[in-house]
Structure 1
């Protein structure tokens, strides 16, 4: 399977697709970006240009962006095809069949799906062995994480090629070794959101204070090392063994008391109202500030040697 990238095709000119396109362009790789909607293609030009500016990349790299209405046409000369279309299984099955027919058999076909595993659509292809999920974390041009998930028919060399390609784009791929709804990262987020929604629904805490609790507490540490390594360090000389011996039993009791909220109209209203009050119409500025902070945090982690090692395909 090809892993040395000279040309990338991105199918879907939404937020994820434009972010993928900017990332590849910033690495000097020409991009063929496809979307059947002319309005989406028009918006993509400005969006990709803005992302390149955020990456401090030359505006001249925009010369490498080629727009297409037909996904098959965009994919025809690519070394890697990244699908970033709607999260609908019927759409993905039809699209991957067309991409499979339009490309050489050694071109990896990668989906950005946030929840579907490759097994649910790769059988629509003549060469299902080259279909894989490379699920990014939004926005992909800034956040380095990519989950690589194989399906029942995905070849080991496809996984290896996908991991290598993601590293060429300076991403941090992790190998997810089971097909699960939501993969791994979205399940971790969903677990936290479930308890957060329940606590807000109970009236135990406000939306604003809940966000402060995470962003000014465990979120700071998790951004540097992750929850397991952080837990190990909190155990002092005894490390994880000490933590589990002394805090394991009460943690099991906490698990038993975690909530199972229903997303009722009342809870939905409370969440929407709470975050609206919290941000008070500053969403655009907060988003810009967040993205700048992400870049500075990543640079700091690299400088301190806290940049995570690249995942492997074992």
Structure 2
């Protein structure tokens, strides 16, 4: 560890912020949470109760979890003694500009300032900060829910200091995440761009009547999802080429791959077409409560993580305090 992390401030207590809160507290940090929502205390209590079994299943001691979480009256109180700040506000440049100006002014000079932004690079909202403040701001983008899904995309801005990049990597590693540093800013970063590329073609296929939303999900979970839980696209393709590897694959099906890329579709922007798509998804899943669907997802993700942990050479070991 390049520096100690004892106190974390979570700014914004939506789905992502509440998940971060539980994860940080489960790793022994004192967590101060700030959000203008009127039900903040109740939301935190319910989230800790819901996520505690998940964290315990990952080998973490959740005894006294709630005792380490404190509701802050405002942002200033939340960040006053923070070693690290995790921001989870709206995806609006102007909002983040104002918020990070406050964070830089009110947080201790050593505090690392991280944003869960899912699409906006930090350079877009740090232009008015002094160099010494911009140097400690960078993206720490998780995937939902971050207390379960290991990946965190660590994306430095144009003025982020290298020491902050290393500190962010150390911090996320210390709370059981898998940080990946991305050295070039791009809207959406890597994970969401990949996700949106697949989503775009999925929408196109449903709009064209090729498959229903429910059956398309079955295609993914029974093929690509299963494969990508163990290997990524490049290693999967390398193995797909047999003993000759990726080179053999490109040499023998490269042309047909290019033809398929050229034929990928663009979903319609017509409101009527979009409404038909929404209704199709609602027909498949709308009868089940959100909480039930989310809990089923989380149980399945835990099962995948446990299976990987039981496999020699896994990159997702059980977490430890």
TM-score by length of 2: 0.92
Matching residue of 1:89: 93
Q: Deviations over 1:266-314 (max 9, x none)?
A: 332232222222225224323212201111211211221353389xxxx
Quote the RMSD (CA, aligned, Å): 1.8
- Larger mean CA deviation between 116-125 and 149-158 belongs to 116-125
**Per-residue deviation at 1:174?**
0.7
**Per-residue deviation at 1:197?**
1.0
Matching residue of 1:169: 175
Q: Deviations over 1:244-282 (max 9, x none)?
A: 111111000001111122232233223222222222522
The partner residue of 1:104 within 96, 108, 111 is: 108
Hey, what's the Cα distance between the residues in 1 that align with 2:103 and 2:286?
44
**Per-residue deviation at 1:2?**
6.3
Question: Structure 1 pair 271/59, CA: closer, same or farther in 2 (3 Å)?
Answer: farther
Hey, what's the Cα distance between the residues in 1 that align with 2:127 and 2:109?
15
**Per-residue deviation at 1:77?**
0.6
**Per-residue deviation at 1:203?**
1.2
Matching residue of 1:60: 64
Q: Deviations over 1:19-56 (max 9, x none)?
A: 00000011111100111233234322211232123322
Equivalent residue pairs, number: 310
Matching residue of 2:31: 31
Matching residue of 1:14: 14
Q: How does 1:43-192 map to 2 (within 5 A)?
A: 43-56=43-56, 57-126=61-130, 127-192=133-198
The partner residue of 1:225 within 227, 231, 234 is: 231
Structure 2 residue 249 is the aligned partner of structure 1 residue 251: no
TM-score by length of 1: 0.94
* Stretches of structure 2 lacking an aligned partner (at least 5 in a row): none
Q: Deviations over 1:159-187 (max 9, x none)?
A: 11001100001000111111111111111
The partner residue of 1:272 within 252, 273, 278 is: 278
**Per-residue deviation at 1:123?**
2.6
Q: Deviations over 1:126-184 (max 9, x none)?
A: 31100000000000011011000011110111111001100001000111111111111
Question: Contact 1:81 / 1:109 at 8 angstroms: preserved in 2?
Answer: yes
